[in-house]
Amino acid sequence: MIFDVLTLFPAMFSGPMTESILKRAQQAGLMTLRLHNIRDWATDRHRTADDAPYGGGAGMVMKAVPTAAAIRAVLALEPEAPPAPVILLSPDGTPFTQALAHELALQPRLILLCGHYEGLDERVRETLVTQEMSIGDYVLTGGELAAMVLIDAVARLRPGVIDAESISEESHSDGLLEYPHYTRPALWEDHPVPPVLLSGHHGAVARWRRKERLRRTLARRPDLLPRAYATGQLSRDDLNFLAELGWVP
């Protein structure tokens, strides 16, 4: 999978994108990250990519000319392939979710446009951006960190990047939060590991983990349960257990 990132600050991606799982995914050829400095398409000797907003006001606005030229140049890098989605990372965008991450992971290539300053000239948003996404209801100094979050969340869903079993029961994979995890030692500062996890009884472990997922979701994110119920993610046993805990659909 190819991630083309258009940014004013490409150096921000060194470190987060060159360590751990994402580093190994790139080394294995499972993903490719290409960084493009929007300033390279600026037309003046100072490589200016922003200007004051029409109508006045604080801050600066990303200019249409270099940004549009950058998008068009990057779109042209794969002439034989269907046009890739151009995603603007913006607080105005659709909330980014695990379901959206799964959808995007099916794409062979994504073009991520990192907003900055007060925003992007609206004409570019209207003519060249195909989707806008937000990683939360707050404002960052730019879209770079949001792009890194999206890349991490999407890349790890690609085949071979992470073991499929590790993904299947993660938080939000099926509408529920993940169960608690423990490792050695079995007793730490008077806190023991739950005995069922030491039993070797795989069926009992699976049932315990399912109940803990339900218990944790009810305690921490009860808003997720109605959606899990509506989409058929909850079995009769799940509903009976939740009823014991005081939740009914």
Q: Indicate the annotated binding residues.
A: 115, 135-140
- Residue 170, φ and ψ in degrees, nearest 5: -70, 160
Binding-site residue set for S-adenosyl-L-methionine: 115, 135-140
Contacting residues for 211 by C-beta, under 8 A, at least 6 apart: 241
User: Rounded to whole angstroms, how far apart are CA atoms 201 and 63?
Assistant: 62
H helix count then E strand count, the chain: 9, 9
Cα-only R_g, the chain: 23
User: Which residue type sits at 180?
Assistant: P
**Cβ atoms within 10 A of the Cβ of 100, count?**
16
C-alpha distances in angstroms, 31 versus 7, 21, 51, 102, 173? 19, 11, 35, 15, 22
The residue assigned the tokens 């805990």 is 245
